[in-house]
Each structure stands twice: as structure tokens, then as C-alpha cells.
Structure 1
Amino acid sequence: MTFRQFALNNVIRNKRLYAAYFLSSLFTVMVFFTFAIFAFHPAFFNGGIRAEVLYGMAVAGGIIYVFSFFFVLYSMSSFLQSRKKEFGLLMMQGMSTRQIRLMVFMENMLIGLFATLIGVLLGLVFAKAILLLAENALVIDETLNFYFPLWAILVTFVSFIGLFLFISLFVSFILRTRKLVDLIKADKQSKGEPKASVILAILAVALLVAGYATALYVKGQMVVMAMLPVIIVVTIGTYLLFTQVSVYLIRRLKGSKGIFWRKTNMVLFSDLSFRMKDNARTFFMVAIISTVAFSAIGSLYGFQSYLTGGLKEANPFSFMYASSEDNKENDMEEDVRAIEEKMDEYDIEGESGQVDLTYFNRNDGEVLITSESDYNRFADMLGERKVNLDNDEAIVIGDSNRVLAPQSEKDRLMDSPVELADGTTIQPDRLLESSHVLPEMYSYYIVSDTAYERLPEPDTVETSTAWMADKGQEDALIQAGEAIFNEIGGYNLVAVDYSLYQINKVYGPILFIGLFIGIVFFVSAGSFLYFRLYSDLDQDKDKFKSIAKMGLTDNELKKVINRQTALLFFTPIVVALVHGAVALTALSHLFDYNLVNEAALVLGTFAVIQIVYFAIVRYFYTKQIKRSVYY
């Protein structure tokens, strides 16, 4: 058997540990290759697609590549930690340190080569599907046809072979510091139970509470100013949480006889406490990486929802055209006729309505007062609730969006009566939260038709025409909106579907890139947990095998393993979910926009993925333990 064959056999024999390393590296290569396919696509170089999309892809590829370096480095370090005894035995058999370094170098380059090749091949297999997905996600007009990405293959291959080469040389170099006695006794030496400082544990809680309280308390632009200090404080608090608070809690639980001596808790807490130092570092790293993934994707998705949701909420009609007294009447009629002609051209069906918005000057500004019948006509077009007023009754309409209609504005109108032409007044008796039934950004009055006729002459009159298209005509509305803007311009015109299309066209690439980077981070965090679990597999086999001889039943064994793996997988993820929830809440305070649904969707999706991943890993891990115990 040659030395190269010996290195190959080592990879095959250690396929359990190398599997996660190989698959994670393969996934990283495939994602990088996907970005390279976009970056070198002919559509970009023909000038048909915006340059900022290309720039964003290049930045994303750089971030993935840099992160891949640290991920592969950590993966190799974790793998080598579990092979100390193997290296010691090889040295006892006469293998020199130089040969061990060469063996590790060859093994790592072998894995890197196959991960790169298979990652590129899988990228080619799914290239067309990915390009189709990108067409919709990036919201581009051009078709991203399939092509043979020669430059993408070359860049990916050279970049990752160079990455694996550098890391292989680096890892091989640091093996020179190992002593034979340390290698042979690697699985026998106690790492020692870490001691917790009460002061540092209290400091950890204080830092986290202070960081959370600040993030949840600040509003508006203060969120941006507080962001960096909060991130630093929470990061330090998270590290101390795992290194100090967790150790302190375990020691307290071990000191409680009612808990520690209950059923199999002794096995669970003793083992967890013994390995807490290593677990704490892994927990911290996974929590921070997962928080970055949650916060990045949640922020990008939340900001897009803020832009599109706010626009749709403020402009519920398909088209809205407004003309004031300063416009000539024939110009308004000509523009309205042009809009209707374009709607007919694109076969858009629906209903329309026109209303005169009457504004009255007051000491504190201008306010809209409209009639019950005008409001109900537009409410009927939107399917909104109509109002029913008595004679000489007035109500205030306040939008639920606090940015467009702040509570102080609503309260001010409720305290201010409506003045009629004969000098009498009508005090509003109720406040209704409503969507933008009428094209008015701020709160306004609705009065009965009889009271509306008794109002004085308005100071300003604006005529607004609205068109509400039937559902299922989104594509036609976008095309018609673009045509209308090209013909009459954007003055006093809102075509909400076309505006949403423009926003998504600009924001789509950002969300698409952020999603991929977040997924890479989250997959890497899951791989860290996999390495942490399986690096101690041999020790766990010996431990449970010994305990089983003392009478540990199959159900008790399964319970201990489930709790042990659950603590490893969900402790950092729960912390990351809390961090992410606080971060997204702070983002909602920045824009004064409710992001509960968006945050729940993003965090819930990641939580479900982690649960599925945990179930899969736990199944195979339990299978390995049981096989060593009972066979």
C-alpha cells in the first residue's frame, strides 16, 4: 500500500466526520459557483442588466469566500482534535511528524478537490433552475438563458483549490507543536470542569438586560445611534452567558440533590459540566453566526415589506390621479381620458370614481372635510366598511399607520369641532381607524350629507379620480402603468402596481443576495454543531457502554442522548432567536412599522429547519451509540 493509498483509506474510514465537512464545503462551493454564473452571464456584459446587480453579486461572492476560509479552517481544526490519539499511534509505529503533516495535507486536498468538482457539477445541473429563480427574484426584464459558464468554472475552481491548499498547508504546519505523550493520552486527559465567576455571571445578565432594554426602548433615528453599542454589549454578554452563566447554573443544579439525583440527570449534568468549556465556545460562535443570519434576512425582508406594504396601504387603488385648482380643467380631462384609453388598450376591467376633496384652513394647518356619501362611494370600491352618520354628526378618520397619521393628529381633530357656515359647530363623537379610502395622508373629518351642504366655501379643492381594477390583472396593470407614466408623466399620478414593480426591481437583488449569504451562515452554524457532537462520539460510546453495564435501560439511554443533543443544538439557536427578535423589534422602532409577521415568518422558518436538522442528526447519532452499546 502506497502512502497516497493510505491517505485515501483514512478519508474513507473517517467518512462519518468528513461527511459534514465535505457536504458543507460542497454547498459553499455550489453557492459561490451560482454567484459566479450570474456575474459572468452574457446578459450583464451586454448592458441589459443594471451594474449594481453585478456589483452586489461580486460583494456577495467575496463575503461567501472569506467566510468559507474561516469555516473550512474551523472544520479542519475540529476534525484534527478528534484524531489526536490516532496520530499518536501512528507516531509509535514509526511515522514521522513530517509524514503525518503530509498525510493530513493530502487528505484535506483530496476532500477539497472532490468538494470543488462535485460542487461545480451540481451547480451546472441546477444552473437553469437557479437562473429561472433569479429572473423572478431579481425582477429583471431580460431572460437569463442557460450558457456554459467557462469563466465561472475557472474562477470557482482556482479560488477554492487555492483556499484548500492554503488551509492544508496551515493545518499541516501547526501539527508540529504536538507531543507524543499528549497525543496518546488525548482521550484520557481531563479538560477540567470550568469554574464560574459569580461576578462575571452577574455582569453577563446585566449586559444582556442593558442591551435588550436599550434596543427595545430607543425609537426613530436613535436606533441607528444605539446599534453599535448594543451589538458590542450583547456580544460580550452572550460570550459570558455561555462561559459563565451556563457553568454557574449547572453547578447550582448539581448542588440540588432533588434535581441532580433524579433519574438520569446525574449522567446528563456530569457530562455536560465536564465538557462545558468546549461547548461554550461552540455555543457562542453558533449563536453569533445564527444571529447575523436571522437579523440580516429578517431586516432585508422587513425593509422590503415596509416599502411595499406602506406604499400599498397608502395607495389602495390601482390608479389614482389628482388635480388641484391650479390645473386647467381641460388638462385634467385629457389626462383622465388618456389613463382610461390605456386601461382599455391593456383590457383592464374594474370600476372608477371621482371626488372633490375640500380643504379648510385652520390655525394649525389645513384639514380635509368630506361627506358621508363621497366616503361611502370610495369605500364600496375597496370593499371597506361604510359609515352611517346621523344628521349634524361628525367623525374623525385616523389611519392605523402612526407615521402617516400620528396619534397626536387624531386627538387634535377629536378635540376640535367642525365649524359650519352659520357659525354653529359639530363636535366629533367617535374615531375610526381605517385604510386610505380617500387619497389623504393625514386624519380628516367625515360629516353627514346635510351638514356637508352647510359648510362654508372651502379654501382649496382637489379633484381626485380613482380606478380599482379587478383581481388577477397584475401584469397588465404594470404594463399599463409604465405606458401611462411615459405618456402623461408622474405628476399627480399613482400607479401602485407599477411602483411596486419598480421597488422590487431595485430591491430584489439585495434580498436575493442577502438570502443566500444568510443561508450559507446558517448551514455553517449547523455544521459547527455537527462537528462538536461527533468529535466526542468515541468518548460517548465508551461512556454509555460503561453505564449500560451498570443497568441503564434502552429508554433511559435514549432519554439521555435526546437531552444531550437537544441542549447542544437548541441552546445557541434559542439565544440567537431571542437576539434576532430583539433586533427586528428595534428595526420596527426605526421605521415605526409593525414587523411582527415578517419576524415570525423568518425566525419560525429557521426554527423549523433547525428542528428538522436536529431530528436527522439525532437519529444517526443515537444509532451509532446504540450499535456500540448493544453489539
Structure 2
Amino acid sequence: MTFGHIVGKNLKYNFGRFLSYLFVNSFVVAVLFLYGSLLFNEILARNGSFRAASAYIQAAAYAILLFSIVFVAYTGIYFVKSRSREFALYLTLGMTDRDLIRMIHIESLAIVAGSMVFGMLSGLLLSKLFYMILGRILGFTGFSYNDIYYIDYRTFLLSFGVFILVFLFNMLFTNIFIRRLSIVQMMKSSSTKGVSKSRPVVGAVAAVVCIFSTFFLHEFLARSEWARGITTNYPVLIPLLTFAVVIVSLYFVIAFGIDILRYFSKRVPAFYNRNILTFGSLSHRFFSYKVTLYIVSLLIFVAIYFMGMGISIYTYNNKTIEEFVPYDFMIETSGNMNNISPDEIKKLVGGAGGVLDTFSALKFASCQNYRNTKEGFVNYYLENYKDSMVISESEFNRHMGLHIDVKPDELLLVYNSSAKAQEPIDFDTVITIEPWREGVTHAEAFGAKSTDMDTFVRKLGNIRHLVYSREKTRSMYAPFIDSYGNIEYAGVLADVVDDKVYAELKAKTETAYLFNLKSGHGKKVFNAILDGLRKINGADESLWQSSSLVFGAKDDITNLRPIYKQERFDMAFGIGGFTFFAFSFIGFLFLLSSGIVLYYKIVTDIDEEKEQIVMLKRIGINGKECRRYLTTHLAIIFFTPFVIGAILGTVYMHAELVFTPYVGYMMSFIWIIIGVVAILDVLLYLTLRKRFFRGVEV
């Protein structure tokens, strides 16, 4: 028999394994192709929402690259180790290491070629569906499938380049594996049997560390003061190291959990004896599955987290858009910029065919808000990067149609964010009234060299200022102004004070014109406003060409672009749509990968499982008992990772969302995601259980 005959017969004998391995690698190539087509889409790159969401999309791209590298490497290593008994047999029959490596290289070339061809064809076919779904999600922004479908040459380079590099690593591992291990070691490495040594002390310590680290990360993400205090000097490094500790300790916790289960089961002899085959499997096989269980648990956790983040951003926009942008239009003046009168605005609106519904010119004075907290004396602008303004009580009541009474020694803090309005008032307040640029300059100087409240007030000199105690301060939420921003809106704080106190300030007044349209074409009216303000500001068409709005300097005309609610709505939901699609795609990818890992593990172990069933039947175990044992065994393997992943996903998503008053509403979507994952897990379990029973002949 020639070398070519051996290679051919080997391919034929292992056709099932090669086919599953080919499928896995084709899947990775297709995924890289699909996301690469989005990453390098020049049509979408011209869209403002896509550009604004580019940070999220690029972060998702890094996650997919990391996943592809780890996933292909893992499946490649497992594929080689699962065939180690076969390799040992070849070596026993006289084949040299060199011949064996040569045979594997030929097989690898066939797999690489097949994976690239089938992966690329799958990517091209699925890209149609990929962009149809994206077009459907972004339908409200004027996109359709035909408008955004685009494949760049860099997509092919990314797909092929990453896959080939990882596959070369796998081939290097194969060479080392064959050259370093003896025949006996190869025979042992293919088996999943063998009792793993119990390490209860290590497991217990790992469990405590894992639980505490998870709790600490939850509190840190939830902006808990004590957790933030620990990370003051290293705000990025400490959380990252803590997360790494969670991931590493989880590996030992899985094995420790089996120890605990077996220990307490033995305390109930009747239960233990009824399930003695399952507990025997836990000793002789399940511990060796801990790597697979660990990986699948992490994959499910990451899947739930990414899908949860995608839907959370999308639903958060839906809940908060009315808070941050309650008015159809807003024009803000600053010094001589946007210096327009109410009559001129009404003329521009009427000239564009619009009819006004409500119109209000909100008068305010620029200020800086300083707070004396238990952590120290801080500046609100530097801490939150949000503006504050001083408004008289009568002006605020007129604007909002309210009848609030503010005493001379009282301060009413009004937020246009319901989340901020729920924060406790545990601080005294110092308000300095000065033009925006001067106030920011003084705030930045204070930030560079902070001091205590009393010293700060003494050094203010002639700068007009107000001081209020926490006992005389209250807060509320009111949709009194529009916020600048694309998706992460910069909330605004209004310091509402007594009329007499406000009059004594003699502050320079600015105006925010806030109005709603009763009828007319909003976009046409907005374009008329833009053109009118460009003329007033002595600017050309290049001013405000971009619809992107970010919180910026109020003495720069480019940052005083008028706000149009529908434009903000389209921008926010465009960004949310791209983010939702990108994150959901990653989540689905990791979820699908968890199923592939389980499928790959179970299907490739059928032969060994079949041998064990034969031995069980020899000692009198009937087919029904074998099926019950295998059912329990597979259920543990399938549902343990789901429980672990769901717990981690819930904990970390709750930490991400606890800052908002809509945490209950948004967490309901997380529970729906977990429910869907559970259903899919059950369906996969039932499908593979049937395949498994048929394979082991029970």
C-alpha cells in the first residue's frame, strides 16, 4: 500500500470528523467575511450614525477577531488530540514521525482549501441575509438592502488572512504534539477517562475569590462609592485584573461544584445509589469535561452579555429620547452667536410652511456648580462634563407652566434626566455666576489645584456667587431643555433660585428658544432655520454640515448647531441600530459557538462512549437503564454551562443598567434573552441526545 492509499483511506475512514472540522472552519471564515463586509463598507461609512457608532463597531470587530483566533485554535487542538489514538497506531505499524506529519499536512491543506471555499461561498450567500436584516433594522433612517450592500476587497483579505494565520499555528501545534509525545502518551491523550484528583481546598478558595470578585465588579460597574474608592489610583487596571481573576477562578469552581454535589449526594444513600452510574461518570469522565464546560459557560456568558448590551442601548434610547430632547427644535444663544429674535424665528418657520404649536424663550445665566461632598469639594462640570445654568423661579414657572415657590435661602436643582434627579442630596452647593468660558477656565484651574469649600469661597473675590446648604436644597426632574448629543446625551442642570436673589446677580442673560411644530415639514423648517442662522452668524454652507452633535465649547459656533428632534431621533436610533446589530451578531456568534463546541465534543466521543455502553451491558445494565444514565449525563453537560453563563450574564448586565431608573424595564429584555437561550439549549440537547443514542446503539 502506497502513502497515497493510506492518506485516501484515512480521509475516507475519518470522513465524519473531517466534515465536522471543515464545517467549524468554514463557519469561522464566513463570520469573518460577514463582519468584515460591515467593517469595510464604504457606503455605510458615509452615514453619520455609522460614524458615530464606529467605536462600538470596531470594539465588536476586535471581539470577533479574538473569538476567531481562540475558536479555531481550540477546535484544531481538540481535533488533533481526538485522533491521537489513530496517530499512535500508525506509529506502531512503522510509520515515521515525518511521514505522519506529511500526511497531516496534506489533510490540513485539503481542510484549509475546503474551508476557504465553502466559508467564502457561505459568506457571500449569507451576506444577502446579513444586509437585509441590517436594512430592516435601519429602515427608519432611509436605508434599504440595495442601498447598503457592499463588499470590499479588504473583506477577503481579513477572512483569509486571519484564518490562515491561525491554521498555521494549529499545524505547528500538531508537529510538536507528534514529535514530543510517545506512543503510550498519545494513546492516553485521546481518552476522556481517568479520575481527576479532587482539590477541595483550592476549589473552596477559588469559589470565595470568584464570588467576591464578581460582587466587587458588580459594585464597581454600578458606580458604588466604596468600589470606586478602591480603584481611585488604578481605575482601569484593577477592574481588568479583577475580571481576569473571575474568569480564571471559574475554572476551578466548576470542578469544586462537582465535589460538593458528590459529597452531599453520599449523605443521602438512596438518592446516590439510584444515580450511581451518573456519579461514577462524574468521577471518571465529567472532571475531564471541565475544560469544555468552562469554555461553553464563558461562551454563553459572553453571548448573553453582548446581546443584552445591544438590546439595552436600543431600548434605552427609546425610553430616554423624550427626556433629553422634549422639544422639536432648540436654538441656543451665546454672546453674539445665534443672536436671533423670536420674531425672526417665527418668520423663518412660517416661510418654510410651518405652523408653531408651543414657543418659549428660556432666559438663563451661565454658571459653574461646585459641590461639597463627603469625598471632597468638587466641580460638577469637571465631574460630569455637563452644563449648569441659573434660572429665576418665575422664569422657570412660566416656561414649565408650574407654580413652584423657592425661598431666598433655598435652591431647586432641576435635571432633564430622571436618573440624576433620583440621586441623594448629600452636598452643599456653591454657584459661581460668570460667562461660560470664564467659568470653565476657573473650573479647570480649580481641578488642577483643588481646595476646600471655605478656602474656595474666600478666594472668589468679586466673582458673584451663591452658597446653599444641603438642608435647603431639593431636586426634581423636568423636561425643560433639549440636550446636545448623539446617543450619550449631555444632561443639563438648572439651578432655580428666588426671583430677588436672581435679580441681585445682575448676570448676563442667554436664551434658549424651545418650540414645537403644530404642522408643516420638519426637515424643511429646520433647513430654513440653519440657513437663517448661517446668515446671522456670517457663515457659509460649510457650517453645521454634519448632523453629529456632541457636548462642546459654548463659545464655538460649531457646537451651537440648532437641535432638531427628528434628526436627533434618527441619529440616536441609527447608532442604536448599528450597535444593536453588531452586538447581537457577536452574541449570536458566541451562542452558536457554544453549541458547536458541545456538538463537536459529544459527536467525536461517540466511539468511546459506545465502548463504555458495551461494558455496562456485559455487567447486566439493560438498554433502558443505559439511556437513563446517558440522559442524565448529557443533561449535566448541557445545562451546567447554561446556568453558569446565565448567572454571570444577569449579574454583569444588572451592574451595567442599575444606574438608570429603567433598570427593571431593561432587565426584562435580558430575561427574555436568557429564556430564548434556554429554549435553544433544550432543543440542541434533545437533538444531540437522539444522535448520541443512535451513535452508541442504545
TM-score w.r.t. the length of structure 1 is 0.73
**Structure 2: runs of 5+ lacking an equivalent:** 372-388, 405-411, 429-473, 483-490, 535-558
Matched residue count: 588
8 A contact 1:49–1:140 mirrored in 2: no
**Alpha-carbon distance in structure 2 between the residues aligned to 1:483 and 1:546:** 85
Cα pair 1:323 1:332 within 8 Å, conserved: no
Number of the residue aligned with 1:240 = 252
Whether contact under 8 Å (1:187, 1:539) holds in the other structure is no
| In structure 2, distance between residues paired with 1:93 and 1:514 | 51
- Residue 314 of structure 1 is aligned with which of 309, 318, 324? 324
Q: How does 1:334-345 map to 2 (within 5 A)?
A: 334-342=344-352, 344=354
Q: CA–CA distance in 2 between the matches of 1:355 and 1:55?
A: 37
Corresponding position of 1:488:
533
- Structure 1 match to 2:677: 609
Give the equivalent residue in structure 2 for 1:291.
301
Residue 205 of structure 1 aligns with which residue? 207
8 Å CA contact 1:109, 1:165 repeated in 2: no
Q: For the residues of structure 2 that align with 1:128 and 1:77, how far apart are their CA atoms? A: 33
Secondary structure at 1:404 match in 2: helix
Q: Distance in 1 between matches of 2:150 and 2:192?
A: 56
- Is this contact kept in 2: 1:290–1:573, CA < 8 A? yes
Aligned position for 1:436: 479
Q: 1:132–1:279: structure 2 CA closer, same or farther, 3 Å change rule? A: same
For 2:420 and 2:353, the matched residues in 1 are separated by: 30
1:20–1:527: 8 Å Cα contact kept in structure 2? no
Shift of 1:249: 1.0
Q: Displacement of 1:57 after TM fit? A: 6.7
CA deviation vs aligned residue, 1:40-71 (integer Å, no higher than 9, x gap): 55648999998888898777656544542332
**Structure 2 contact 272–279 (Cα < 8 Å) conserved:** no
Shift of 1:510: 5.4
Quote the Cα distance in structure 2 between the aligned partners of 1:497 and 1:48: 14
Superposed CA deviations along residues 271-295 of structure 1, whole A, max 9, x for unmatched, are 0232233222222333334434444
CA drift at 1:75? 0.8
Q: Deviations over 1:429-470 (max 9, x none)?
A: xx998763787966899xxxxxx9xxx999999987655568
Residue pairs, 1:144-293, within 5 angstroms: 144=147, 146=149, 149=152, 152-153=155-156, 156-157=159-160, 159-184=162-187, 190-198=193-201, 200-218=202-220, 219=223, 224=235, 227-243=239-255, 245-258=256-269, 260-261=271-272, 263=274, 265-293=275-303
Tell me the residue number matched to 1:80: 80
Alignment correspondent of 1:530 = 599
1:352 counterpart = 2:354: no
The alpha-carbon deviation at position 407 of structure 1 amounts to 4.6
Distance 1:272 1:89 in 2: 29
TM-superposed deviation, 1:5: 5.9
1:14-93 equivalence runs, <5 A:
14-38=14-38, 41=41, 43=43, 64-93=64-93
Hey, what's the Cα distance between the residues in 2 that align with 1:39 and 1:588?
28
- 1:260 and 1:400 map into 2 onto residues whose CA distance is 60
Q: Give the C-alpha shift of residue 123 in structure 1.
A: 1.9
Q: Report the Cα offset of residue 134 of structure 1.
A: 4.8
3-state SS of paired residue (1:620): helix
CA contact (8 A) 1:404 1:442 kept: no
The whole-number CA distance in structure 2 between the counterparts of 1:55 and 1:397 is: 34
Distance 1:305 1:368, change over 3 A: farther
Asked whether the equivalents of residues 39 and 58 of structure 2 are also in contact (C-alpha less than 8 Å), the reply is: yes
**1:569 corresponds to which residue?**
638
The 1:339/1:230 distance shift into structure 2, 3 A limit, reads farther
Cα 1:109–1:319, aligned 2, differ >3 Å: closer, same or farther? Answer: same
Q: Matches of residues 494-573 of structure 1 in structure 2 within 5 Å? A: 494-504=563-573, 512-547=581-616, 550-552=620-622, 554=624, 556-573=625-642
Give the whole-Å Cα distance in 1 for the aligned partners of 2:169 and 2:207.
41
Q: Structure 2 counterpart of 1:612, which letter?
A: L
2-side partners of 1:52 and 1:296: how far apart?
19
Contact 2:327–2:481 under 8 Å retained in 1: no
Which residue matches 1:120? 120
- How far apart, in 1, do the equivalents of 2:49 and 2:425 lie? 44
Structure 1: which 5+ residue stretches go unaligned?
A: 378-386, 390-395, 413-430, 446-451
Q: Give a deviation string over 1:502-553, Cα, whole Å, max 9, x none.
A: 3455666555544444443443333333333334322322333444563545
Distance 1:492 1:54, change over 3 A: closer
- Alpha-carbon deviation of 1:595? 4.0
Q: Which amino acid aligns with 1:206?
A: V
Answer yes or no: is the 8 Å Cα contact 1:577–1:603 preserved in 2. no
Structure-2 separation of matches of 1:115 and 1:275? 32
Alignment of 1:382-393 (within 5 A): none
* Cα-Cα RMSD: 5.3
Q: How far apart are 1:241 and its partner, in Å?
A: 0.7
Contact 2:73–2:169 (8 Å) recurs in 1: no
Is 528-537 or 511-520 further displaced after alignment? 511-520
Which 10-residue stretch deviates more, 155-164 or 562-571? Answer: 155-164
Query: Letter of the aligned partner of 1:273 in structure 2?
Result: S
Note if contact 1:293-1:521 (Cα within 8 Å) is conserved in structure 2: yes
Map of 1:452-467 to 2, 5 A cutoff? 467=515
